[in-house]
Amino acid sequence: MKRRLAALSLLLAPLAAGAAVLEAGAGGAHPTLRGAIAAAKPGDTVRVRSGTYREGQISVDKPLVLEGVGRPVLDGEFKHPILRVAANGVTVRGFRIINGGRSSTQELAGVFVDQARDFVIEHNELRDCDYSIYLSKSGPGIVSENILHGLSDLEINSGNGIHLWSCKGVRVRGNRVTGHRDGIYLEHASASAMEENSVENNMRYGLHFMFSNDSLYRANRFTRNGAGVAVMYSRAVIMRDNVFDQNWGSSSYGLLIKDVTDSEVTGNLFDRNSTGLYSQGATRVRYEGNHFRENGWALRIMSNGSSNRFTANTFTRNSFDVGTNGDLADHEFARNYWDRYEGYDLRHDGTGDVPFRPVSLFAILTERVPASLFLMHSFMVRLLDRAEKAFPSVTPDSVIDSTPAMRPHPPPTALIPASQPTQHQP
C-alpha cells in the first residue's frame, strides 16, 4: 500500500510541480493577485476570479499563466502603471485593465513587458491607459485579439496603443486600437509582423513605423487616423492587403513612405484619403496591384527617390492621379489602369497603344500654387490640360505609362469587410 502511494505520488509529482493551478480572488486561497503570484512557482497557472483588483503595480517576475475568469478588472486608479511582465514565458489572458497612471516624464503602461521573451498577451481589454501595451527590448512574443481604447474620451493626450521599442520577432495580430496618439508604434522593432489589426480614430498615426527592418504588415485596416500611416527609415518591409481609408487633412496620407528601401507595397486599397500614398526618398520599392479610389491625390512622389516600380495598380475617381515636385527619372510605370486614359487598343493585347502621362498640367500648377485647386473642373483648366497633352512642355517626360491597362485590375483579394457602414457605396 505504501509502495503504491509512493508510486502514485512519484507519478503526480512532476504534474503538480509543473502546472499547479492557483485560484486568486475573493473566496479563493489567495484573496489578492499579488499574493497568488508570490505563492506561485514558475510554470504555474493563476486563475483570477472576476472582481476588481486595486493593487497598484503588479509585477510578474516568473513564468506564469495569468488567466482571467469572467473578465476580472485590474484598476490602476489613474495612479499606477498596472501590469509589469519581467520574466520570460508569461501569458496574460482575459483581463480588463483600466485607468492606468499618467506621467509627463515617464511612459506608464497598462501592460509593460520589460526585457522578456515568449510572452503572450491576448484577449484583454484595455481602457483609459496612457500607453496600453508597451514592449521594451522584448520578443519574440505575441500580442493578439486585444481591444485597446486610449484616453481620447477624457480629452487628454494619450500615449500609443501598442508600443514596441527595440524588439525583435513580435507578432501583433487581430487587435482593435482606438483613441491613442499612435495606434501601433514601432521603433527599432525588426522582424515583426502586424496582421489583421483594426486601427481607427487615433490622433496621430495609425501605424508609426521607424527603423524596423524585415517586417511585415498585412490585412490591417487603418481608418480616420490623424495623419494615416507612416513607414520611415526601414529596409525590407512588406505591406500587403491593407486598407487605408478616410485620412483627411492638409498633411494627412493613407500611407507615407520615407527613406524606405527594398520593400513592397502590394494589393492594398487606398480609399478617400487626401493623399493616398506619399513617397519621399524611397528606393527599390515595388508597388503592385494596389487600388486607389476617390483620393485627392492618389500618388504624390517626391523626386528624391529612385528605382521604384508601379505596376498593375488601378486608379479610379481620384481628383489627381499623380503629383510630383520635379522629374521622376528612374521610376517605372507599367500596366496600370488609369480611369482618365483615353487611348485605344487596336492590338488587342489588353494594354493601350498610346502611352499615358498621369501628371496633368493642372497637377503641376496646384503643386506650385495650392490655391489654384479651386479651379478644378473649370473649362479653362481643361483647355490647358488638353493643350499640354497635345504638346507636352511642362509635364515631366519621365512619368509615363507606356502600357496602360484598358480595364481595371481585379480588386484586392484579402479585403476585410468594412467595420462600419461607409457613406459611399463603391
Partner 1 sequence: MILKIVKHVLLDILRSRIVLAYTVFLAAASIGLFNMDADTGKSLASILSMVLMLVPLTSLIFATIHYYNSYEFIELLSTQPLRRGTILLGEYLGVSLALGLALLAGVGLPVAAYDSSLTGGCILLAGLLLTFSFTALAFLGAVCSRDKARGMGMAMLQWFFFALLYDGLLLLVLFTFQDYPLEKAVIALVALNPIDLARTFVMLQMDVSALMGMTGAVMQEFLGSRLGMTFTLGVLTLWIAAPLGLALRVFRKKDL
Residues that bind partner 1 (CB under 8 A): 248-252, 272-275, 294-297, 316-317, 319-320, 339, 365, 368-382, 424
Q: Which residues contact 11 (CB under 8 A, 6 or more apart)?
A: none
Q: Which residue, 57 or 319, has its beta carbon nearer to partner 1?
A: 319
The minimum distance between CB 228 and partner 1, in angstroms, equals: 12
Residues near 265 by beta carbon (within 8 Å), at least 6 away in sequence: 239, 240, 255, 257, 277, 285, 286, 287, 288, 290
Least distance between partner 1 and beta carbon 152 (Å): 19
Comparison of 365 and 416: residue with beta carbon closer to partner 1: 365
Q: Which is nearer to partner 1, 104 or 423 (CB)?
A: 423
Rounded to the nearest whole angstrom, what is the least distance from the CB of residue 236 to partner 1 in the complex?
Answer: 30
Helix-strand-coil percent breakdown of the chain, rounded to 5? Answer: 10, 40, 50
Length of the chain (residues):
426
Residue 91 or 252: the one with the smaller Cβ distance to partner 1 is: 252
Strand partners, 21: 45
d(CA 394, CA 386): 13
Q: Which residues contact 300 (CB under 8 A, 6 or more apart)?
A: 253, 275, 277, 278, 279, 322, 323, 324
Q: How far apart are CA 149 and CA 201, in angstroms?
A: 10
Q: In terms of CB distance, is 59 or 316 closer to partner 1?
A: 316
Distance of alpha carbon 368 from alpha carbon 324, whole angstroms: 10
Q: From the CB of 231, what's the least distance to partner 1, in Å?
A: 20
Q: Which cell numbers hold the place of 270? A: 487606398
CB of 297 to partner 1, least distance (A): 7
Task: Return all residues near 222 (Cβ < 8 A) that are at least 6 apart.
Answer: 183, 199, 200, 206, 207, 228, 229, 242, 243, 244, 245, 247, 254
Query: In the complex, what is the shortest distance from the CB of residue 276 to partner 1, in angstroms, rounded to a whole number?
Result: 9
* CB 345 to partner 1: min, Å: 16
Here the cell at position 362 is 493642372
Nearer to partner 1, 167 or 298 (CB): 298
Compute the least distance from the CB of residue 269 to partner 1, in Å: 14
Most distant CA pair in the chain: distance in Å? 104
Q: Give least dist CB 338 to partner 1, A.
A: 11
Nearer to partner 1, 10 or 371 (CB): 371
User: Based on CB atoms, which residue is closest to partner 1, 413 or 423?
Assistant: 423
What pairing do the DSSP bridges indicate for beta strands 109-114 and 308-311?
A: unpaired
As given in the structure block, the three cell numbers for residue 291 are 487600388
Distance in Å, CB of 294 to partner 1, minimum: 6
Phi, psi of 37 (to 5 degrees): -65, -40
Neighbours of 159 (CB within 10 A): 23
For residues 280 and 98, give the distance between their C-alpha atoms in angstroms, rounded to a whole number: 39
Closest of 119, 122, 124 to residue 139, by C-alpha: 119
Residue 69 beta carbon to partner 1: minimum distance, rounded to whole angstroms: 47
Nearer to partner 1, 3 or 368 (CB): 368
Which CB atom, from 36 or from 359, has the smaller least distance to partner 1?
359
Specify the residue, 86 or 381, whose C-beta has the smaller distance to partner 1.
381
